[in-house]
């Protein structure tokens, strides 16, 4: 009952339909080497027989399992003679071509290349993996699919109607439910269907062939006896294995518990090792669920241990429970950030471990390893901002928490801490104590200076108190400006999800840092970022986002916004003009430089009376300089400024923070001896270099290894714009 011509061939319309390449090639007898790949019973061998009945070329066939190199060479010799003597090509059909070893395939390859032999291979495996790559590259690959129910029905109808090769000459009555059963169990396999039909028809009567006119009835019961349930096609080394486990994992990842149970049941029914399935679920628990539900890994691990104790068949309950948990829990692949870090390691040159993170047990005395490290458990909430990445990678983000499950609960806190760390790393020395105005040393020492000062606690307090005073509403527009004000941007953005946050950056690096962090947000959720113009309160004219910039804001948040303004009243008047009359709020955090630590207080005990007096006089000259806007004010002046500018001061407070700070000797020496710094200039005007050198040496010897207690004071003031 096997089809012999193209017209009799049923199914595979995607390659054999009218006008398709393969059909045209067979009709024109212009075949090149072909490989048919597909499940059993889909027509691979039948298609080869159709070609044999159509072509004018010599047709020969081999079975890869039964034929060795000797048989291959014999066919090649015959093919060579046919080509030499008659100019006739040979089509060699090889069934189960994937079973050929390398020697057999290599023996055939030269003759396929020169056109003496046209190879037609049939395989149930993936030819790209199982067949010689050279043969594959010279062949067209056609994939055959299981036949549909309608196509199988046509196969049965054709077999019952054909009087020569079928049962058209007999009176066969096939019950509808019997036909449905045969088609369902055949599951796309035409060969199984025809074998079952033959068995049902030829055993449906006492003798076969029956007497003329005898009716043969094929009932559902007869059909059930004639066809057995097919064993699942499942090879642990083949495509079906990988395709099925792929479907299972993708169902887990896609949170489809029904599909996950189906594909897992299919694997177990086919004899897959449940331990292999559990291993794949352990991978999925980390890769696809990850931090969205850290408990998933424990559930799957517990299921794996339970299965080892229980085994089959009851162990299937543990498989099912693990699969259902993974399919229904929240998902996150944020652990893939590790591979971004791995790529950074492989692509970039090696980076030194920051000095404060190095092992202090060996080289602390000689090289200062471990100095400046801040022990997190000694701080509030067991956390303190400091750099843990190499300096060149500071600001690189590898982990991005999702908004799913457990990660949704920690995402905000992770982001807040990251913002504090980035703000601390980016802080410029000139926005803090007056003593840091001198030219900087190496970047590493500057970072050590900042990190050891533990200013993260100050930044946290500034952010919380400024935002508390601002009392932002969800829909309001907020302007953030000033030196180091990016620590305020992200919390303001979180508190105004339906509003707008605009950030004025004091330099291009500052703007790029904010924009880089904002790039992880959706476009509508990002802050507007512009470089500040000359007034520091309006965007620069060439800013791309200036067209979107509002004329008025409900709140203005500033950090050290007035620090270098010589005319504070004029600056506050301009601020008032940017805020909505009657309800606009202004909240400023300004460093009170003259209230911070002074060297005469920290090192006075080590100095002589004369040296101590000299240092104190120089510090008074610096901190009481009426011409220096950094130090020529205190909180009593703020009320006057606000009133003159049309602002109603609503409140103020001072944040005083003392932290352990490491002062590098080179930095201390610059403060005292460099005339370009204010303190150095004041000292030089009162003493000669020799005395100053002696004082610097004395203070350096007095530097404690664990650092000094350094005081920082920040004033937070807020008010409302008068109507």
pLDDT digits (tens, 9 = 90+) for 427-464: 533 333 333 333 333 443 443 334 333 456 677 888 88
> What is the structure's pLDDT at 358?
78
User: Would you state the pLDDT for residue 519?
Assistant: 78
Q: What residues make up the domain containing 87? A: 13-143
**Residue 322 domain-assigned?**
yes
pLDDT at 438: 32
> Strand 708-721 to strand 585-591: parallel, antiparallel, or no bridges (unpaired)?
antiparallel
Query: Do 455 and 449 contact (CB within 8 A), yes or no?
Result: no
Return the CATH number at 31: 3.40.50.300
Residue 215 and residue 135 in one domain: no
Given 191, 226, 261, which residue is the final one in a domain?
226
Angle, in degrees to the nearest 10, between helices 257-269 and 239-253: 150
Domain-located, residue 51: yes
| Domain co-membership, 322 together with 265 | yes
Q: Are residues 323 and 292 in the same domain?
A: yes
Integer Cα distance of 397 and 402 in angstroms: 14
**pLDDT above 60: residue 366:** no
Same domain, 131 and 209: no
* Average pLDDT for 36-43: 89
Asked whether residue 407 is domain-assigned, the answer is no
Check whether residue 99 and residue 171 sit in a common domain.
no
Q: Are residues 39 and 100 in the same domain?
A: yes
Q: Can you give the length of the chain in residues?
A: 723
The CB-based long-range contact list for 503-509 (8 Å cut-off, 24+ gap) reads 503/479, 503/527, 503/528, 503/529, 503/530, 504/479, 504/480, 504/530, 504/531, 504/532, 504/536, 504/537, 504/538, 504/539, 505/529, 505/530, 505/531, 505/532, 506/482, 506/532, 506/536, 507/531, 509/426
Q: Is residue 613 part of a domain?
A: no
Of 110, 143, 176, at which residue does a domain stop? 143
Whose structure tokens read 């201390």?
668
**Distance in Å from the first CA to the final CA of the chain:** 97
- Do 170 and 162 touch, CB atoms closer than 8 A? no
pLDDT score, position 363: 56
Consecutive H or E run containing 587: strand 585-591
- Among 118, 143, 168, residue at a domain's last position: 143
Is the CB of residue 239 less than 8 Å from the CB of residue 195?
no
Same-domain status, 248 and 325: yes
Which CATH number do you get for residue 260? 1.20.272.10
pLDDT of 64? 81
Quickly tell me which residue has 């006896």 as its tokens: 225
Report d(CA 536, CA 482) in Å as an integer. 7
Contact 267, 232 (CB under 8 A): no
- Rounded to two decimals, the pTM is 0.47
Between residues 616 and 634, which one has the greater pLDDT?
616
What percentage of residues in the chain have a pLDDT greater than 90?
Answer: 19
Co-location of 77 and 94 in the same domain: yes
Mean pLDDT of 521-528: 82
pLDDT at 591: 86
Q: Per residue in 383-418, pLDDT tens?
A: 777 777 877 676 677 777 878 888 888 877 777 777
Is the peptide bond preceding residue 313 cis, with omega within 30 degrees of 0? yes
Whether residue 249 sits in one domain with residue 205: no
Residue 304 lies in a domain: yes
CATH code (residue 154): 1.10.8.60
Based on the domain organization, do 76 and 161 belong to the same domain? no
Q: pLDDT, tens digit, for every residue of 490-500?
A: 889 888 888 88
In a shared domain, residues 19 and 115: yes
Cross-strand pairs, 586: 556, 719
User: Is residue 624 classed exposed, middle or buried when 0-12, 13-18 and 19+ CB atoms within 10 A define those classes?
Assistant: exposed
DSSP 428-484: -GGGS-GGGGSPP--HHHHHHHHHHTTHHHHHHHHHHHHHHHHT--TT-EEEEEETT
Distances (CA, A) of 640 to 388, 571, 644: 44, 13, 6
Average pLDDT of the chain to the nearest whole number? 82
As beta bridge partners, residue 657 has: 712
Q: What's phi and psi for 675, nearest 5 deg?
A: -70, -15
Phi, psi of 156 (to 5 degrees): -65, -45
């Amino acid at each position: 009952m096997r089809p012999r011509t193209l017209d009799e061939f049923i199914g595979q319309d995607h390659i054999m339909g009218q006008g398709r390449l393969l059909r045209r090639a067979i009709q024109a007898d212009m075949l090149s080497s072909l490989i048919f790949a597909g499940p059993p019973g889909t027509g691979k061998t039948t298609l080869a027989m159709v070609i044999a009945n159509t072509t004018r070329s010599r047709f020969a066939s081999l079975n890869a399992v039964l034929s060795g190199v000797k048989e291959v060479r014999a066919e090649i010799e015959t093919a060579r003679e046919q080509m030499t003597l008659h100019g006739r090509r040979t089509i060699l059909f090889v069934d189960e071509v994937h079973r050929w070893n390398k020697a057999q395939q290599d023996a055939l390859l030269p003759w396929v290349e020169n056109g003496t032999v046209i190879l037609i291979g049939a395989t149930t495996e993936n030819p790209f993996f199982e067949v010689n790559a050279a043969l594959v590259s010279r062949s067209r690959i056609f994939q055959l699919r299981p036949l549909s129910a309608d196509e199988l029905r046509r196969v049965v109808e054709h077999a019952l109607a054909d009087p020569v090769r079928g049962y058209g000459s007999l009176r066969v009555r096939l019950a509808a439910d019997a036909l449905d059963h045969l088609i369902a169990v055949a599951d796309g396999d035409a060969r199984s269907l025809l074998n079952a039909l033959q068995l049902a028809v030829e055993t449906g009567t006492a003798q076969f062939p029956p007497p003329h006119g005898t009716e043969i009835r094929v009932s559902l019961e007869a059909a059930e006896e004639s066809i057995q349930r097919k064993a699942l096609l499942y090879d642990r080394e083949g495509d079906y294995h990988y395709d099925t486990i792929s479907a299972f994992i993708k169902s887990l990842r896609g949170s489809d518990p029904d599909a996950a149970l189906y594909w897992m049941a299919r694997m177990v029914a086919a004899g897959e090792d449940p331990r292999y399935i559990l291993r794949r679920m352990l991978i999925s628990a980390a890769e696809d669920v990850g931090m969205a539900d850290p408990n998933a890994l424990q559930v799957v691990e517990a299921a794996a241990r339970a299965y080892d104790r229980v085994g089959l068949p009851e162990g299937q309950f543990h498989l099912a429970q693990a699969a259902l948990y993974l399919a229904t829990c929240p998902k996150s692949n944020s652990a893939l950030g590790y591979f971004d870090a791995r790529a950074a390691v492989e692509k970039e040159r090696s980076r030194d471990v920051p000095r404060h993170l190095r092992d202090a047990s060996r080289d602390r005395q000689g090289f200062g390893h471990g100095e400046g490290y801040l022990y997190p458990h000694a701080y509030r909430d067991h956390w303190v901002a400091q750099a843990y990445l190499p300096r060149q990678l500071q600001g690189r983000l590898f982990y991005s928490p999702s908004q799913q499950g457990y990660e949704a609960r920690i995402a905000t806190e992770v982001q807040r801490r990251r913002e504090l760390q980035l703000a601390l790393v980016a802080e410029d020395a000139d926005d803090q104590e007056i003593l840091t105005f001198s030219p900087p040393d190496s970047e590493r020492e500057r970072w050590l200076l900042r990190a050891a000062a533990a200013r993260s606690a100050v930044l946290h307090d500034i952010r919380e108190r400024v935002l508390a005073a601002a009392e932002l509403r969800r829909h309001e527009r907020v302007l953030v400006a000033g030196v180091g004000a990016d620590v305020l941007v992200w919390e303001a953005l979180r508190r105004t999800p339906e509003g707008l946050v605009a950030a004025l950056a004091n330099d291009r690096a500052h703007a790029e840092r904010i924009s880089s962090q904002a790039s992880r947000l959706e476009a509508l959720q990002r802050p507007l970022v512009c470089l500040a113009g000359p007034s520091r309160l309006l965007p620069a004219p060439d800013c791309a986002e200036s067209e979107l910039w509002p004329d008025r804001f409900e709140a203005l948040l500033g950090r050290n916004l007035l620090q270098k303004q010589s005319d504070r009243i004029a600056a506050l008047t301009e601020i008032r003009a940017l805020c909505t009359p009657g309800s606009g709020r202004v909240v400023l955090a300004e460093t009170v430089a003259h209230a911070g630590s002074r060297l005469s207080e920290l090192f006075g005990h080590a100095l002589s009376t004369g040296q101590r007096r000299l240092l104190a006089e120089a510090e008074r000259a610096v901190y009481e300089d009426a011409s220096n806007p950094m130090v020529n004010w205190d909180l009593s002046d703020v009320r006057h400024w606000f009133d003159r500018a049309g602002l109603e001061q609503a409140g103020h407070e001072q944040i005083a923070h003392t932290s352990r700070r490491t002062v590098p000797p080179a930095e201390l020496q610059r403060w005292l001896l460099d005339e370009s710094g204010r303190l150095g200039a004041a000292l030089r005007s009162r003493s000669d270099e020799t005395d100053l050198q002696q004082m610097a040496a004395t203070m350096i010897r007095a530097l404690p290894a664990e650092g000094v207690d350094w005081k920082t004071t920040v004033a937070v003031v807020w008010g409302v714009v008068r109507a």
